[in-house]
Structure 1
């Protein structure tokens, strides 16, 4: 309902503002006076003094405090940077419901369910996973809370489920090395490559940034982008966007969000198949941030092949290699397998057949041809790199995981469902 959507928007803005006020209060206060109890008292007083902050339920405000305090603990432990100000434009709109007893989930029929959102009322959502509700819920298997998140396609709800899971038996499957590429998304050392069937480049050689959209959606996106450029031409400097231009931007975001969902869906399905088949999965330790840096250089030392590097960076970002490894990490643990990382340097230049690294063997992005006179091995470049990755693991070059990192998860996550 539009009225409920507006109320959810107000709660999300109140939660973001609560975070920013808490951050300002925390950073300005002397270190000797910083404590969780003092922050809790400040939040309670702020909800009394500022009326529109009361739009946020009390438990959701406490969840903001706990999340902020945990962010500082992650910073002190060296796992993350310091918490920062949340921008209205760049931050994700979200609201936490930390108590599952307030939800009162009821399944209407096979596809839809109803949930109670504090200060919002009953909301219908798409039932995509089995939830422990009614007689199926007990102390060991129950819903402990939920999180509402908004993207370009609307509001969605993800439930937190606590469940007791048995420790899986060690996976006895084979070992496999995986190389994440652009032309071949996931190249496996045994030749069982995983491809999403969408070419990374257009016929003219440029990167296809909309490869997850079908032809009709691409044509629609082109029309909307042209419409947005036309309407933006009438906007004066420092003038706010018109409602029509803002609506056009929203249509563009919706198509982009749809493409992202399809990419994530492919990643989940592919990683499940890999985790179920292989007992040991070996990947590279990649620094993707450095890989996608611009090549434009400086005024004194301008870069070379800037346009080509820009297209490659866009293709790397679209493949989301880091997200694939993150998903594969917990899914291999769920199936009893192990994910190992090895050093990345040299895996794409070394010949997996003879073991020599000969200059000029990597002729282009897709093909590897060994220039060693006694070898002449020719294969897909990503497959050659995957074989080298597995070889590094078998030679004992596996990287030691960071201390304190969990190797298995004890709680079962639930795929976000769509609220209507």
Structure 2
């Protein structure tokens, strides 16, 4: 028997804006950031303990009436800033998060929230482009990348609940928030449809059935050369910049080049991860992965002055490689995609998965000959093969045990 469940998803698309529209959206984003800072200054200097939402709302209405530049921000976006800031303090008061802080111009991602979807009027123009109404901006084109619920005829059922405008190095994008009624089937028989996944560097994803998912460099050779040149230029120019001095136009242009190239690489990473995780979620019912503490794995080996670290350069390179693979995001994508397909994702404890022989289940010292080679030293076994494949088989076997122990026993077994 299946059940119906509400799914909240986001769909990001690139906006096609004119130069004037970009300036107006930049003004809205700066006004939203400044409004957050004004609210923070009001709370920290007024002495009012745990102010009510209505008190902050009155202050915002007064500010929008008397401060001209706040008028660039739509009223709905102002209320969204207010509610987000108030929720941040509520989380702090309840001990679930730290207190909110000021948002600096250089470190804050420009963003404007559109909390209500009634005025968006999203329509599809043709195969590649759609149209959307943005407050104080008008009708704007956006790149159509996937079907939106309630918009595409014959597309997914549901509705758009709001949107958020975000700017990165590649320009302004719109993220549609959608609500879908998904029919989730009961957990299917995974007797012949289960897989374990080992995440790595040389082989990004190694599957227990022998398959692998690989990718090439995220940047082309020409782009790598441009990135290295820009990084050297920025390091050279910063040598002649005094502390507290404003960034020159030339240095800012170099920073823009670096941000643009890194944004391209990130978009390619996301594209590969989405396509790969979608294929895995459709092919397997039970997906098992290692429960890795990625933050601890990426700790610096530099050490201290009294106790300096060893192999610092090698560890730094490994940390960059791990960060480039974005292992945590891969698991997040797999989690909701397997659930949408009626499957399940199981997190397996990491200790022993790469040292245990998947054939005999025994950990024998010296079996891991190299990073890519595994030879079981158990006299009664002697299995040999790829180390990533061996680890993925161990993960798959442990995932089956954990899934059965959680009450989702394999169909046909007792």
The bucket for the TM-score relative to the shorter chain is: 0.7 to 0.9
TM-score (norm 2): 0.84
Query: Closer, same or farther in 2 for the Cα pair 1:135/1:270, shift >3 Å?
Result: closer
Report how many aligned residue pairs link the two structures: 386
CA contact (8 A) 2:158 2:180 kept: yes
Query: Closer, same or farther in 2 for the Cα pair 1:30/1:356, shift >3 Å?
Result: farther
**Which residue matches 2:336?**
330
CA contact (8 A) 2:124 2:151 kept: no
1:184 aligns with 2:203: yes
Stretches of structure 1 that go unaligned for 5 or more consecutive residues are 199-210, 401-420
**Which residue matches 1:20?**
37
C-alpha separation between the residues in 2 aligned to 1:278 and 1:34? 51
Higher mean C-alpha deviation, range 18-27 or range 153-162: 18-27
Higher mean C-alpha deviation, range 71-80 or range 333-342: 71-80
**Which residue matches 1:152?**
169
Pick one of 58, 74, 77 that aligns with 1:60.
Answer: 77
**Which residue matches 2:382?**
376
C-alpha separation between the residues in 2 aligned to 1:164 and 1:47? 39
**Which residue matches 2:259?**
253
**Which residue matches 2:323?**
317
Where 1:163 maps in the other structure, the secondary structure is strand
Query: Closer, same or farther in 2 for the Cα pair 1:24/1:346, shift >3 Å?
Result: farther
Query: Closer, same or farther in 2 for the Cα pair 1:371/1:73, shift >3 Å?
Result: farther
Where 1:43 maps in the other structure, the secondary structure is helix
**1:260-271 pair list within 5 angstroms:** 260-271=266-277
C-alpha separation between the residues in 1 aligned to 2:152 and 2:380? 70
CA contact (8 A) 1:280 1:338 kept: yes
Higher mean C-alpha deviation, range 100-109 or range 226-235: 226-235
Pick one of 168, 180, 189 that aligns with 1:163.
Answer: 180
Higher mean C-alpha deviation, range 122-131 or range 271-280: 122-131
Per-residue deviation at 1:378? Answer: 2.7
C-alpha separation between the residues in 1 aligned to 2:210 and 2:177? 38
**Which residue matches 1:5?**
22
1:290 aligns with 2:290: no
**Which residue matches 1:412?**
none
Pick one of 371, 376, 380 that aligns with 1:365.
Answer: 371
Deviations 1:35-67 (A, max 9, x none): 222222232223234322221111001111222
C-alpha separation between the residues in 1 aligned to 2:48 and 2:358? 56
Deviations 1:136-171 (A, max 9, x none): 59xx73322211110000001121223322223534
> Could you say which structure has the higher strand fraction?
2
1:116 aligns with 2:133: yes
Query: Closer, same or farther in 2 for the Cα pair 1:133/1:331, shift >3 Å?
Result: closer
CA-atom RMSD in angstroms: 2.8
CA contact (8 A) 1:132 1:142 kept: yes
CA contact (8 A) 2:162 2:178 kept: yes
**Which residue matches 1:275?**
281
C-alpha separation between the residues in 2 aligned to 1:290 and 1:189? 26
Pick one of 350, 355, 373 that aligns with 1:349.
Answer: 355
CA contact (8 A) 2:109 2:166 kept: yes
**Which residue matches 2:11?**
none
Query: Closer, same or farther in 2 for the Cα pair 1:29/1:179, shift >3 Å?
Result: farther
Deviations 1:2-59 (A, max 9, x none): 1211111111111122223333444556675422222222322232343222211110
C-alpha separation between the residues in 2 aligned to 1:76 and 1:123? 40
Higher mean C-alpha deviation, range 105-114 or range 56-65: 105-114
C-alpha separation between the residues in 2 aligned to 1:295 and 1:105? 51
C-alpha separation between the residues in 2 aligned to 1:52 and 1:78? 35
CA contact (8 A) 2:124 2:152 kept: no
TM-score (norm 1): 0.83
